[in-house]
Every structure is written in structure tokens, then in C-alpha cells.
């Protein structure tokens, strides 16, 4: 039986700053996970991924990251994505500063 598709967001790093970015529903890149588009359909997710990977002058290292649906938008299921969302835990100078 094929594995059931779990919800995902398209994520990458911005080419110029290196910041973690997420693909929003309007096709723009956002730095806030809460504004990312949660993709619940596998075919849709693959198309969004392919389109995003073509935007080579904006982002680097595009991939689909597992998420669940939270009250304030997508929530990470793995601690790595949680750190990518918030920034390093030893200083409050990643995204925490502007969050």
C-alpha cells in the first residue's frame, strides 16, 4: 500500500541573505512559517515544488518539509524544522528578534 501523504510546505533558503523562507499561497516567499501554504494534496505539492525549484535566482535548496495543521498555520513535526523556524537556541538573534 502506498504511504499516505502527510501535509507539507515548500521551504528553501533565500539566495541573497540565506534566510529560511517558505512558499505562501500567493506564490511569494515568506520568512514566517505561519504564512506558508500548507499542501495537503501530493500532486499539488509536487507541482508547487517543481515550480519553486525553477526560481533559481530567488532561492537555494528547495524541498518539501513535513508539517501539521496548527491553530496559527503550519507547525513543524520535526525538531530540525522547528529550529529552522525560530533560529539558533543559544542567542536570541535569529528570527526571534523580529518575531
The residue ranges that bind another protein (CB under 8 A) are 13, 15-20, 56-57, 60-61, 77-80, 83-84, 87-91, 93-95
- Furthest C-alpha separation in the chain: 45
Q: In whole angstroms, give the CA distance from residue 22 to residue 12.
A: 7
Which residue lies nearer to another protein by CB, 20 or 67? 20
CB of 84 to another protein, least distance (A): 6
Q: In whole angstroms, give the CA distance from residue 75 to residue 97.
A: 20
Which residue lies nearer to another protein by CB, 46 or 77? 77
Amino acid at each position: 500500500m502506498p504511504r499516505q501523504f502527510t501535509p507539507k510546505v515548500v521551504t528553501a533558503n533565500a539566495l541573497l541573505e540565506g534566510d529560511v523562507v517558505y512558499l505562501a499561497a500567493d506564490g511569494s516567499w515568506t520568512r514566517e512559517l505561519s504564512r506558508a501554504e500548507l499542501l495537503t494534496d501530493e500532486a499539488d505539492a509536487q507541482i508547487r515544488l517543481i515550480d519553486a525549484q525553477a526560481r533559481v535566482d530567488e532561492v537555494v535548496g528547495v524541498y518539501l518539509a513535513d508539517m501539521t495543521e496548527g491553530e496559527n498555520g503550519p507547525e513543524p513535526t520535526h525538531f530540525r524544522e522547528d529550529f529552522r523556524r525560530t533560529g539558533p537556541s543559544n542567542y536570541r538573534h535569529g528570527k526571534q528578534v523580529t518575531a
